[in-house]
A and B are shown apart, each in its own frame.
Chain A
């Protein structure tokens, strides 16, 4: 009953190990299988919409299982609890395992969000176990990581002037930065019209490679299968969404690109990105206020410098337009963040000091002092450029 060969046959499916096994599957076998799947469904339905829906349902089952399996294999049993986390899980891990290639991250706001999310992730880890005075500043801190990642994104997008400016400050060892020079062909983007829409676009989906669509089928796209996979992953993780696949014609290319459009349901909190960033900034303040000793302070000084240039870099990217958001930490410091499409301003109110930073002077100090006068009843004096704050030097 057991075949002769190198592969050990397991009689019980529960005994088989969950390891990766063979990484490669025959492409032609997959193409045949998929075409058979489509043809079978074609015979069962009357119209195109129904066919798409059936393909999506098939993909949904795959997605639910893929989520469990990949979380176990790749992520070492850590779940995703945030929107950006699950999105980057989909468009990096899932895509890499299923289709054998990694999607490039689109330059711009999405990368910043990913960076900030990673940062707050690490901060969350540290916050659970470590108190600020137990924080070992010798190891690469959150801000080093943050700055390096932001810088790497700047280089990827050919913002060389930023890199040169920072080189002069001699803050980052350049070996840490590995610019990825391949063109951004596939990406994860955020829709501009609606808050809750995201798009994964790819030059050609694997499932579409060997399928030709008849003209009278209209806008039918076999990418509905992949859309179903994505929907399965998101749904099982607790982020219900409507996912569809579309062809997007691109000039200069014969075949149109495929875009997977993800529209989240109303109960999903799509505005949580802001809290991640403020979490990171508050962490930094927290650390600063608890610093003891001169060596720690000098390191914090460096961190602050990095943060301030990171902030200016952050402001160059397009952030989500939003109203004034206020987050207060436990130490009487309140961080106010104001953004619109191109400007950003950070206002930090700490007991009797206000620190203002941003990329434009549009939200300038007069406005703040006026509102402060109305609120507090006293005048604010503008002391000009900030040189030190709470005992920490700032460049």
Chain B
């Protein structure tokens, strides 16, 4: 099951803080500066996919920002779909959004829901640890 999922952390002011490709066929990981909106895109045949990821992310942002106020849970799953990509998002207490785009077929499997949730929770803990350090 060679799937790649795009993972992004977006701050409160819609500025991306971190971006990574995760999955069984990973490409190179990139970390974007908090104020730097220019992200170096990989130059290979998957370049279109990377463009697409950012586009999908922006479309999902609006949905998440409305949805975040309706529930007090942190994990919101499968909030948006685009062709065969599904977006799930995890909102932290400070409204930092963690996005994950995956291939749709993963989401029919309820085990993967838990897998994604666990993944988000681990990333959340790491995020807090990094945040606390001066």
Binding site for B on A (CB under 8 A): 13-14, 16, 18, 64-65, 67-72, 77-81, 85, 121, 124, 128, 236-238
- Rounded to whole angstroms, the CA-CA distance of A236 and B127 in the bound complex is 15
Contact A13 B133 (CB under 8 A): yes
Q: Which residue of B lies closest to A238 (CB)?
A: B95
Q: Is B12 on the interface with A (CB-CB < 8 A)? A: yes
Q: Is B93 on the interface with A (CB-CB < 8 A)? A: yes
Q: Is B8 on the interface with A (CB-CB < 8 A)? A: no
Q: Is B35 on the interface with A (CB-CB < 8 A)? A: no
- Rounded to whole angstroms, the CA-CA distance of A387 and B92 in the bound complex is 49
Binds A, one of B26-34, B53-61, B68-76, B78-86: B68-76
Question: Top 10 nearest A-B pairs by Cβ distance?
Answer: A71-B93, A236-B94, A77-B74, A78-B72, A68-B94, A67-B93, A79-B93, A81-B72, A79-B72, A68-B93
Task: Name B103-134 residues within 8 Å CB distance of A.
Answer: 121, 124-133
Interface size on B, residues (CB 8 A): 25
Binding site for A on B (CB under 8 A): 12, 68-74, 91-96, 121, 124-133
Contact B12 A236 (CB under 8 A): yes
Contact A69 B95 (CB under 8 A): no
- Rounded to whole angstroms, the CA-CA distance of A238 and B96 in the bound complex is 11
- Rounded to whole angstroms, the CA-CA distance of A79 and B73 in the bound complex is 6
> In the assembled complex, how far is the CB of residue B29 from the closest CB belonging to chain A, in whole angstroms?
15
Contact B93 A236 (CB under 8 A): yes
Contact A236 B133 (CB under 8 A): no
Residues of A within 8 A of B74 (CB): 77-79
> In the assembled complex, how far is the CB of residue B34 from the closest CB belonging to chain A, in whole angstroms?
13
Contact A80 B69 (CB under 8 A): no
> In the assembled complex, how far is the CB of residue A259 from the closest CB belonging to chain B, in whole angstroms?
26
**Which of B70, B121, B126 interacts with A81 by CB under 8 Å?**
B70
**Which of B70, B126, B132 interacts with A69 by CB under 8 Å?**
B132
**Which of A13, A14, A65, A237 interacts with B95 by CB under 8 Å?**
A237
Residues of B within 8 A of A13 (CB): 129-130, 133
**Which of A65, A69, A79, A128 interacts with B91 by CB under 8 Å?**
A79
> In the assembled complex, how far is the CB of residue A234 from the closest CB belonging to chain B, in whole angstroms?
11
